[in-house]
Structure 1
Amino acid sequence: MAVTLAACATSQRGENAGGEGGTLTFGAAGAPDLFDPFYASDGETFRVTRQIMEGLVGFEPGTAEVEPELAKSWESTPDGKTWTFKLNEGVKFHDGTDFNAEAVCKNFERWYHQTGAGQNQALSYYWIENFGGFADGQTPSLYSSCDSPDPATAVIHLTRATSKFPDLLGLPSFSMQSPAAMEQYQANNVQAQGDSFSYPEYAKAHPTGTGPFKFSGYDEGNQTIKLARNDQYWGEKAKIGELIFRIIPDETSRKQELEAGSIDGYDFPNAADLQALRDAGHNVLVRDPFNIMYLGFTQKNNPALNDLRVRQAIAYALDRDNLVKANMPEGAEVATQFYPDTVEGYAPDVQKYPHDPEKAKQLLAEAGQQNLTVNFYWPTEVTRPYMPDPQGIYNALAEDLRAVGITVNPVSKPWNGGYIDDVDNARADIFLLGWTGDYNTPDNYIGTFFGTPTNRFYTAGAPWGEQLAAELRAADSEPDEGKRQAMYQQINRKLLAEYLPAVPLSHSPPALVLNERVKGLVPSPLTDEEFATVSLSE
C-alpha cells in the first residue's frame, strides 16, 4: 500500500462573500425520522444532513471518487492501520465552536462508545456495517483509537487494513458534528420504545455541523424542512439564501407540484414521464448508474429454496432484458453481478443466467419442485433509485415465474411499514431489494450484503455462507491492490454467481428534475447532491 493514499490535495473551496439569495424548494420523496446522521440509514435523512454537515473526506461532484473536505490531506502507514489527517484550519461549527482534531476524536469516540439502544443495528447501521463492534468488546471493531497531537492533525488507528478507508468517512453517518452541541442537547440519549425509538432534542431540532447551510426547523404538520445559508461558512458560500425540502411521498403528486410551480424540482421522476418533462421545458438530470437491484432468496422458511437448482431455475425464468426495456429508465442495464463494472473486482466472465424458460422448467423438475409456491414480497409507498416502479417490476417478474409453473403469492407492505423489517428478519421467500453505492469499493456492495454468515438471505449454517463471509473479509483486508482485485473477481465468479444467494437484475440511472430557473446542481451517482452550488435565475 502506498504510504500516501491521497496526495496532499488542497480543497478547491473558494472564499467568496457569496450568495445571490432566493429560496429553492425541492420535493423530497419521504420524511426523515431525525437529523442526526449517525443514527440514520435512509436517503431522505442524508439528503438534508449532507447540506448541514461535512466529513473529513467528501466525494468529487458528479463522481464516486474521494476528495478532501474537512481534511485537506491524509496519509497511511504501509500496513494500512494508522491514518494521519491534516485538517483545514479556521473552520467553525454552526454554534461558533472550533472544528479541530480534538473535535474529530470526540466524534469517533462518541460513535465507538455507544451503549444500550445506540448499539441497535437499526440505529448504528453504518457504524456496524463499516466498523463492526463498540468499545464494550463484544464484537471486534475496525476502529482502535484517535489521537490529536495538534489542533490541525488527527490520527486514526485501525485494528486492520481495509480497502474502504478512508472512503467510508465520506458517508453522511460519519459527518463531523459539534461536540458542544451534542453535549448540550444530549445527542446520545436515544431510547428504545417497543419496536421504535425516541430521539433526543439534538436529533430533532439542533443538528450542528460545519456545512454551507444551517438547520432552521422542521414543520411536521406542513411537512417542510427549512435550512438557511451559513454566512460564516469556511469555504464558498451557498448561492441561495434558503433551502426548503417539502415532503411529497407520491411521485405523481411531486410532478403536479412542479408543474404548478410550487416546487422547483424533485427526485426519482417516473421513467415514463421523462420526455414529457423535457418537452415542458424542465431540466431532467440523469445520474450515472451506481446501484444494483436484485431478487433475493431467503432460505429459512421455504426448504425448496435451499436447493441450488431451484434458485437457478428462478434465475433462468426471469426475462431481465424485457424488464430493463419495459420498466426501467433509459440507460438502465441488465446486471450480471452485484455491482457495476466501474467497481474494482468486476468479473466479465461470471456464469450468466439468460432468459430460458425451458431450462427453468427442467431444473424445477430435477429438483422435484414442479408445483413450487413462493411468497413474493414487494414494497409499497416508496420509490428507490434502483427500483423506480416497485409494483410494475413485481408484476413483470411474477409473470415470468408463473410462465414456468411457479405459483406466486404476492405480499406487499409499505417500505417503512413492515417491508424492510420482514425482509431483514428472513420472513420473505423471495423479495425485491437493492443498493446505491455509498463509495467506490466492492466491500460496500457485496460486503454489505454477504459479509456476515447471518443476513437477510439466511445463510447461517450453510457452508458456502461461512466461506463467502470469510473470503470477503480476507479480500477487504488485503492491502495489495492487484491481489485484492483478483480476490474479488474470484468471489464474483465462484461464490456469488454459482451459489446464487440472489439474482442481480439491473443497474439503473436514477433521474431528478428541475425547473428551468434552477442552475448549477451537479447530479451525483451516489445521490449525494449538494445544493450550495445552485443558483436561481429570474
Structure 2
Amino acid sequence: MSRAPSTGRGARRRFVTAGLAAALTVSLAACAESERDAAGGGEGGTLTFGAAGAPNLFDPFYASDGETFRVTRQIMEGLVGFKPGTADVEPELATEWTHSPDGTDWTFTLREGVKFHDGTDFNAAAVCANFERWYHQTGAGQNQALSYYWIENFGGFADGQQPSLYESCEASNPTTVTVHLTRATSKFPDLLGLPSFSMQSPTAMETYRANDVRAQGDSFVYPEYAKSHPTGTGPFTFTGYDQGNGTITLSRNEDYWGEKAKLDELIFRIIPDETVRKQELQAGSIDGYDFPNAADLQSLRDAGNNVMVRDPFNIMYLGITQKNNPALQDLRVRQALAYAVDRETLVQAALPDGAEVATQFYPDTVDGYAEDVQEYPHDPERARQLLAEAGHPDLTVNFYWPTEVTRPYMPDPQGIYNSLAEDLRAVGITVNPVSKPWNGGYIDDVDNARADLFLLGWTGDYNTPDNFIGTFFGTTTNRFHTASSPWGEDLAAQLRAADSEPDENRRDAMYQDINRRLLSEYLPAVPLSHSPPAIVVSPEVEGLVPSPLTAEEFASVSISR
C-alpha cells in the first residue's frame, strides 16, 4: 500500500497563501540573483542572524529547544522534510515510501550518492544505525530532558521498561530500509521530519562518543560530538562555536548532494534581548532576527526591512491544574474561567495583526478540527452564575506567568497575564500572581502542579492532531495533571485509539469527537489564541521562506552588500 507525502485537509485551505508567498519570494530572489550575476555581483558572502538564545549542544537528538534546532537544521537532514512555507511533509533523504496495510511496516527508498560531511556514505545501514542509537539509550540518555522527542513520539527504549512504538530497522540493500513499528500511528512518517530525528554520521558519532552523556547535579555533561563535531548531510557544515563572543559559524558544504547553499558562511550571533537585536539590525551588525515585538513591526518596515509574518500554526492556552485546588475539579468552575476571559479583546490588544481567537487546541489547518465545538464567548454574568452554582463565588487562584521569555504564541507574557487577570477579578475571582523566569522555576512549578492557572502554548512540529492534543493530554502524567480527574484515563485512551487508527476518515472523525468532548465535558485548559510570529531581515537579504513551523532553512538565502 503506497502512501504519498501527506497533505492535510486544512493545510490546503490556509497554507496556500504561504505557499504562494514562498514561491513569489523564491521567484523574485532568482530574478534579483540573475541581475546581480549579470552585473558581476554573484552569490556568496556571510549572513549574520540574531539568535534569541544559546544552544546547549549541537546534537539534536538530545535537544528540545528551538535555538539548537535553528542551527542543526542547517547541518542535518531527515528522511523526510517539510515543504517550504508549509507544515506538509515532502521527501528529503528518502525519495519515496510505502507502508503495509496495517501501518506497522514502513519501507523507504533512499537518495543515492549522498555523503555525510565526514565522507561517510549515507545508506540504509546508516539509517538503521541512527534508529538503533536512539532506541538503545541508557542511563542519562533516557532522561526526558534529553530524549524528549523520542519519549514523546516513540515511548520507551530497548530495556523494555516502557512500551515503544519502534520495533526494529531492516536494511534490505544500500538504498532500501524498512522501519518496523509495534502499532499504526497517525504521526508516521511526519515525525521523522523533526530535527531530533535527523540523520547523523555513524562514523562521527562513534569517533566522538556521541552517547557518552552523563548527569551532573541538575544538568548534563555532553560528549565531544555534541559540542564540537555535529555531522550531517545538510547544505552547511559546522565550523565552530565561539562562546566568548556568542557566535556559531557554519560554512557552505561544497560537496552537498543537492543545490548548494548560496552563502559562504552563516553566523548565528546570540543576543537574548529583543530590543538589542532590533538595535543591532538597525546598526547593520546583524542581517535579521526572529520574533520581533509586534509593536516594532511597522517601524521595522518603515526602515526598509523585510518583515515576514508566518501563518499561525500554534496555540496559546490558559492551563488549569486540578490536582491541588478542589474547586478547579468542578467543570462548572473551569467553564466559568472560560466565560470570564475576554479573548477577543486579548487578541486585538495584546497580540500581533493576524492573530485569531482559538476555539479548540489546534488550528483549523490540522485534521480532526471540529466546526461544532462548544464555544465560550465573553460572558461575565454567566461566569458569576456558574461560580455560584458550584459553591465557589469567592474563588481564589494562584496564576503563574513567565518572565525572561518570548514565545511565538506568547509575545508579551506580562501583558497577556494582566489582561486575563483583570477579566478574572471582574467576576469576583481573587488572583494571586506568581511570576518566575521561564528556565528559572516557571516550567518546573507548572510541571509539579504548583500553579492553579498558567500561561503556555505550543508551536506545531508537524501537521497531525496527535502532535497537539496527543502531546498535551495523551497521558495522565501531563502538565495538566488530569490523573486527578475521573475522565483523565478515558481521554488518554481515546487519544491513543485515534492515533492508532489507520483509516484516515475514521481517524478524522475520532479526533473531531475528542475535540468536542475536550471543550464540552473535560475543559482541562482554555484555548486562547493562534498568533502569527514574525521574522525580519534587512533589505539586502533575499530568498528566505518563512515557515509556519518556525523552521526556516537558510540554503536558499542570498545577501547583497
- TM-score w.r.t. the length of structure 1 is 0.96
2:336 counterpart of 1:337 = no
2:141 counterpart of 1:142 = no
What is the letter of the counterpart of residue 40 of structure 1?
A
How far apart are residue 258 of structure 1 and its match? 0.6
Render the CA deviation track for 1:90-116: whole Å, top value 9, x for unaligned: 111111111110000000000000111
Query: Match of 1:235?
Result: 258
Render the CA deviation track for 1:435-454: whole Å, top value 9, x for unaligned: 01111000000000000012
How far apart are residue 496 of structure 1 and its match? 4.0
2:83 counterpart of 1:84 = no
Paired residue secondary structure (2:365): coil
Paired residue secondary structure (1:259): helix
Between the aligned partners of 1:302 and 1:223, the Cα distance in structure 2 is 44
Between the aligned partners of 1:435 and 1:323, the Cα distance in structure 2 is 18
410-419 or 42-51: bigger deviation: 410-419
Query: Match of 2:31?
Result: none
Paired residue secondary structure (1:134): coil
What is the letter of the counterpart of residue 201 of structure 2?
S
How far apart are residue 219 of structure 1 and its match? 1.4
What is the letter of the counterpart of residue 264 of structure 1?
D
Paired residue secondary structure (2:432): strand
Between the aligned partners of 1:497 and 1:202, the Cα distance in structure 2 is 49
How far apart are residue 483 of structure 1 and its match? 0.5
Residue 323 of structure 2 contacts residue 484 of structure 2 at CA under 8 Å; is this kept in 1? no
Between the aligned partners of 2:544 and 2:449, the Cα distance in structure 1 is 40
Which of residues 155, 164, 177 in structure 1 aligns to 2:187?
164
CA separation of 1:497 and 1:438: change in aligned 2, threshold 3 A: farther
Paired residue secondary structure (2:550): coil
How far apart are residue 376 of structure 1 and its match? 1.0
Render the CA deviation track for 1:291-324: whole Å, top value 9, x for unaligned: 0000101112222211111111111110000000
Between the aligned partners of 1:203 and 1:497, the Cα distance in structure 2 is 46
How far apart are residue 195 of structure 1 and its match? 1.7
Paired residue secondary structure (1:393): helix
Which of residues 56, 64, 67 in structure 2 aligns to 1:41?
64
Residue 249 of structure 1 contacts residue 382 of structure 1 at CA under 8 Å; is this kept in 2? no
Residue 5 of structure 1 contacts residue 76 of structure 1 at CA under 8 Å; is this kept in 2? no
Query: Match of 1:519?
Result: 542
What is the letter of the counterpart of residue 211 of structure 2?
N
Residue 284 of structure 1 contacts residue 512 of structure 1 at CA under 8 Å; is this kept in 2? yes
Render the CA deviation track for 1:193-238: whole Å, top value 9, x for unaligned: 2221111111111111010111111111211111111111111110
CA separation of 1:515 and 1:497: change in aligned 2, threshold 3 A: farther
Query: Match of 1:321?
Result: 344
Query: Match of 1:362?
Result: 385
Query: Match of 2:154?
Result: 131
Query: Match of 2:502?
Result: 479
Query: Match of 1:12?
Result: none
Query: Match of 2:311?
Result: 288
Paired residue secondary structure (2:227): helix
Query: Match of 2:136?
Result: 113
Which of residues 410, 424, 438 in structure 1 aligns to 2:433?
410
How far apart are residue 463 of structure 1 and its match? 2.5
Query: Match of 2:47?
Result: 24
Paired residue secondary structure (1:44): helix
437-446 or 183-192: bigger deviation: 183-192
How far apart are residue 52 of structure 1 and its match? 0.4
Render the CA deviation track for 1:467-501: whole Å, top value 9, x for unaligned: 11000000011111110000000000013443100
Number of aligned pairs?
528
How far apart are residue 3 of structure 1 and its match? 3.0
Between the aligned partners of 2:232 and 2:136, the Cα distance in structure 1 is 20
CA RMSD, Structure 1 to Structure 2 (Å) = 1.4
Residue 374 of structure 1 contacts residue 407 of structure 1 at CA under 8 Å; is this kept in 2? yes
Query: Match of 1:375?
Result: 398
Show the 5 A alignment for 1:112-511.
112-511=135-534
What is the letter of the counterpart of residue 92 of structure 1?
K
- Structure 2: 5+ residue runs without aligned partners? 7-36
Residue 91 of structure 1 contacts residue 98 of structure 1 at CA under 8 Å; is this kept in 2? yes
Residue 351 of structure 1 contacts residue 498 of structure 1 at CA under 8 Å; is this kept in 2? no
Between the aligned partners of 2:193 and 2:397, the Cα distance in structure 1 is 40
How far apart are residue 461 of structure 1 and its match? 4.1
- TM-score w.r.t. the length of structure 2 is 0.92
Paired residue secondary structure (1:209): coil
Residue 322 of structure 2 contacts residue 485 of structure 2 at CA under 8 Å; is this kept in 1? no
Query: Match of 2:3?
Result: 4
2:552 counterpart of 1:529 = yes
What is the letter of the counterpart of residue 59 of structure 1?
F
Query: Match of 2:17?
Result: none
Between the aligned partners of 2:187 and 2:93, the Cα distance in structure 1 is 18
Between the aligned partners of 2:519 and 2:195, the Cα distance in structure 1 is 29
Query: Match of 1:13?
Result: none
What is the letter of the counterpart of residue 370 of structure 2?
A
How far apart are residue 250 of structure 1 and its match? 1.3
Query: Match of 2:95?
Result: 72
How far apart are residue 361 of structure 1 and its match? 1.1
Query: Match of 1:94?
Result: 117
Residue 6 of structure 1 contacts residue 75 of structure 1 at CA under 8 Å; is this kept in 2? no
Q: Percent identity?
A: 82
Paired residue secondary structure (1:410): strand
Residue 164 of structure 2 contacts residue 182 of structure 2 at CA under 8 Å; is this kept in 1? yes
What is the letter of the counterpart of residue 34 of structure 1?
L
Between the aligned partners of 1:531 and 1:316, the Cα distance in structure 2 is 44
What is the letter of the counterpart of residue 421 of structure 1?
D
Render the CA deviation track for 1:46-80: whole Å, top value 9, x for unaligned: 00100000000000000011000000111111111
How far apart are residue 360 of structure 1 and its match? 1.0
Residue 322 of structure 2 contacts residue 484 of structure 2 at CA under 8 Å; is this kept in 1? no
What is the letter of the counterpart of residue 219 of structure 1?
D
- Structure 1: 5+ residue runs without aligned partners? 8-17
Query: Match of 1:11?
Result: none
How far apart are residue 375 of structure 1 and its match? 1.2
How far apart are residue 432 of structure 1 and its match? 0.5
Between the aligned partners of 1:387 and 1:143, the Cα distance in structure 2 is 34
Residue 314 of structure 1 contacts residue 401 of structure 1 at CA under 8 Å; is this kept in 2? yes
Paired residue secondary structure (1:62): coil
Paired residue secondary structure (1:531): coil
How far apart are residue 286 of structure 1 and its match? 0.7
Paired residue secondary structure (2:483): coil
Paired residue secondary structure (1:325): helix
Paired residue secondary structure (2:177): strand
Paired residue secondary structure (2:482): coil
